[in-house]
Amino acid sequence: MNGRIEVENLTKTFKKGNVQAVKDVSFQVEEGEFFAFLGPNGAGKSTTVQILTTLINASSGKVEVAGYDVIGEPEHVRRHIGVALQETGVDPDLTGREMVELQAFIFGFGKEEGKRRAQELLDIVDLSEASERRIGGYSGGMRRRLDLALTLVNEPNILFLDEPTTGLDPSSRAAIWKELRRLNKEKGTTIFLTTQYLEEADSLADRIGIINKGEIVAMGSPKDLKSEIGQDLITITLKDRDVIEHSVNLIRTQMEGVDVLAQQEKILVYVEEGTRQLLEVVRILDTEDIGIVDIQLSSPTLDDIFLKLTSETKEGVKSRGE
């Protein structure tokens, strides 16, 4: 038994709508690693998690989880993993405590042992007080925390979490982050988490894979990705749209080591030292009398990062991702 995940040339095409949701994706997650799969809506995150957790089959490629093939040995895979998906089937008429005790029973705990384990988990996810209430009356955040408790009953070696904090308030999110960090550090649980939030991946993960339109567009530690992306973003709106291309070329040739993009009527410049380089951009445009309507300095958002990564050539992206 190991806590590794290996994905090789994974592809998934949904016949309905002829959607290629995952396109030739390869990556590994090491035992004890905290890995985040980061991407916007529809990027292919849930599809990947569903394949890795044996819920749906891949169209092609090879996936091993905990040393077992997901197609050939799905029951072995299931025995070693915990899964918290976006849509989970919990019975709204049960209380939180009954649901966790039921899960313990399913995993073969005896009655007393199951009760103890349920109490321990309800404490961990901070649901002890609400444990006698029916699940149907729980808030979204409480449901997510209950999902997490259910996932943890059998102390899995590998934990899959599909957007565990989407739509949660900050305190519920913080509680889940804390528990995930603890599991990873203290128990050595391998964690595969999908998220749309850059800050979540940044704060929790050892390594981040960025997925967009079914393809991995970047892979690395948060530090590596940030330095690759650049720390600051300068956004410029020009008076005359006709000179955008010329201005992009000017900035590109006169400023070393920055990435410059034209996006509709704006120019985006990714830089390391925002304030100093903003002045440089103004100076470069000014020498050619190019009028600026607006110029802003900000940290890149996830959207900016995607825009930058997906505008690069596939070759350039691939060499970084491997």
Ligand X SMILES: Nc1ncnc2c1ncn2[C@@H]1O[C@H](COP(=O)(O)OP(=O)(O)OP(=O)(O)O)[C@@H](O)[C@H]1O
Contact set with ligand X (CB under 6 A): 14, 16-17, 19, 21, 39, 41-47, 196
CB closer to ligand X, 210 vs 238: 210
CB closer to ligand X, 42 vs 140: 42
Min separation Cβ 22 and ligand X, Å: 7
CB closer to ligand X, 235 vs 310: 310
**What is the C-alpha to C-alpha distance for residues 268 and 295, in angstroms, rounded to an integer?**
10
CB closer to ligand X, 11 vs 196: 196
Q: List all residues 6 or more positions away from 320 whose beta carbon is below 8 Å from its beta carbon.
A: 218, 219, 220, 228
Min separation Cβ 25 and ligand X, Å: 11
CB closer to ligand X, 179 vs 215: 215
Min separation Cβ 27 and ligand X, Å: 15
Q: Are 195 and 38 in contact (CB under 8 A)?
A: yes
CB closer to ligand X, 45 vs 308: 45
Min separation Cβ 196 and ligand X, Å: 6
Q: Are 284 and 251 in contact (CB under 8 A)?
A: yes
How many Å from the N-terminal Cα to the C-terminal Cα in the chain? 26
Enumerate the β-bridge partners of residue 220: 208
Min separation Cβ 171 and ligand X, Å: 23
Of 93, 304, 138, residue with least CA distance to 210: 304
CB closer to ligand X, 1 vs 14: 14
**What is the C-alpha to C-alpha distance for residues 295 and 311, in angstroms, rounded to an integer?**
22
Min separation Cβ 16 and ligand X, Å: 5
CB closer to ligand X, 215 vs 259: 215
CB closer to ligand X, 154 vs 194: 194
Min separation Cβ 48 and ligand X, Å: 7
Min separation Cβ 194 and ligand X, Å: 6
Min separation Cβ 213 and ligand X, Å: 8
**What is the C-alpha to C-alpha distance for residues 168 and 201, in angstroms, rounded to an integer?**
16
